[in-house]
Amino acid sequence: RGRLLSFHRMPESLDDRASYLYEEDGGLLIEDGVIAAVGDYASVRAEAPEGTAEIDHRPHLILPGFIDTHIHFPQMQVIGSYAANLLEWLNTYTFPEECRFVESAHAGRIATHLFDELLRHGTTTAAAYCSVHKTSADAFFAESLKRGTCMIGGKVMMDRNAPQGLLDTPETGYDETRAVIDEWHGRGRNHVAITPRFAITSTPRQMEAAAALAREFPDLHIQTHLSENDEEIRYTGELYPEASDYTDIYARYGLLRPKALLGHCIHLSEREADVLSDTGAVAVHCPTSNLFLGSGLMPLKKLIGREKPVTVSVATDIGGGSSYSMLRTMDEAYKVQQLLGERLNPLESFWLLTRGNAEAVALADRIGSLDPGTDADLVVLDASATPAMALKMEVVGSLADELFLLQTLGDDRAVAETYVAGRPAKSSIATIAS
Ligand code: GUN
Ligand code: FE
């Protein structure tokens, strides 16, 4: 029981009441981890089998769990590294740290922490890059299976321009990705993604291997990075001189399609944006990372509003990103649009965090809404979680203003509870991890 909010589609404006369901005194009936009924409390209660236990979350908001569409599992100890730009950050801090994930004990320990942090912040689904080592993908998916979460992840493929301990080959990148697919895809709620890190760290031969995987597994997610940093773009052009631009490299290897999640997409030309639109590939906005690494201002609203619209999503990009919180992430996304002269309204923001991101990863039939039949992954939000928030709440008069307050001042403290498949997953953390 609580105040329910779930989006049907992208809100066209702040007045677009038809784009979402809001129940002031709402009820959710959960059976076997799935939402069985949704509506006003009295009618859902009447429908519930006798003896159904009840949890009262009033006056908090109950939303579908947040979805983070781009995160790096082996970068939890990279967050807050003092680097001037992307390539310096990768070479100085990130690559050395990722080398440690060859050890399964280390990968297992960090996986426990990753899931604790995600769930503490109300994130119930994430699309994660593991390290190049199969051990890291094993640790990630094993932890997900244990927690019952819906996760997307991939063993990173990278065969050049990184330390020796972080390189595979075209052959081992292919074989080990296949092994991860065989072992983990479809097990529990796990989804394996084909994950060539980016054009700089894959030779053309390895791109061929990624292309082969993409052909053999046309339904799988693909993850890579695109158009993040000026120096990266310039170097990429040198490495693939035959491509007309950065996007064309991935297009040539058949890596652009729906469920291809392209991290950053900050500096795309109109031609490149057209290609993303035509192929259905997704531009993943990582605002805290783009600001932290000084990569640039991603034109999110412009990409959505084009004549040929680009599918977009939002993400933390931990550890280039600086917060696990999708609320903090949307606050930064809002500010980036402000600097570009665009408005991102709070309904759009919360649509993105839930249904928008679910559609971007093509899992809206299972997650991202409170629709009956979907999995009961939920976040319970308290807009009065801190003294400053409570004070502001005294004068907040609308749902949109409350969401905007949550986005502007909220973080993990505003997450009163997280549910994974109907089970409390935040309040139970202390007993899972020591
Ligand atoms: N490009 C290639 N690898 C990475 C990474 O780990 N983080 C970010 N932000 N960009 C990348
Ligand atoms: Fe990234």
Q: What is the pLDDT of residue 380?
A: 98
Q: What is the pLDDT of residue 393?
A: 98
Looking at the CA of 156, which ligand is closest? 1
Mean pLDDT for the stretch of residues 418-431: 91
Mean pLDDT for the stretch of residues 187-201: 98
Pocket test for ligand 1, best of 77, 90, 157 (most atoms within 8 A of CB): 90
* Residue 212: CB atoms within 10 Å: 17
SS3 label, residue 426: coil
For residue 228, the ligand 1 atom closest to its alpha carbon is: 10
103 Cα to the center of ligand 2, angstroms: 22
Mean pLDDT for the stretch of residues 195-212: 98
pTM of the model: 0.98
Looking at the CA of 261, which ligand is closest? 2
- What pLDDT, in 10s, does the model give residues 109-134? 999 999 999 999 999 999 999 999 99
For the chain, percent of residues with pLDDT exceeding 70? 99
Q: What is the pLDDT of residue 187?
A: 98
- What pLDDT, in 10s, does the model give residues 52-63? 999 999 999 999
* Residue 233 CB contacts under 8 Å (≥ 6 apart), including other chains: 227, 246, 267
434: confidence class by pLDDT, cuts 50, 70, 90: very low
431: confidence class by pLDDT, cuts 50, 70, 90: low
Q: What is the pLDDT of residue 433?
A: 47
For residue 129, the ligand 1 atom closest to its alpha carbon is: 6
Looking at the CA of 131, which ligand is closest? 1
- What pLDDT, in 10s, does the model give residues 349-362? 999 999 999 999 99
pLDDT surpassing 70 at residue 432 = no
- What pLDDT, in 10s, does the model give residues 262-302? 999 999 999 999 999 999 999 999 999 999 999 999 999 99
State the pairing for strand pair 282-285/311-314: parallel
- What pLDDT, in 10s, does the model give residues 176-185? 999 999 999 9
Q: What is the DSSP string of 289-358?
A: HHHHTT-----HHHHHHSSSPPEEEE---TTTSS-S-HHHHHHHHHHHHHHTT----HHHHHHIIIIIHH
320 Cα to the center of ligand 2, angstroms: 7
CB within 6 Å of ligand 1 — which residues?
A: 72, 86, 90, 94, 197-198, 225, 228, 289, 317, 320
182 Cα to the center of ligand 2, angstroms: 25
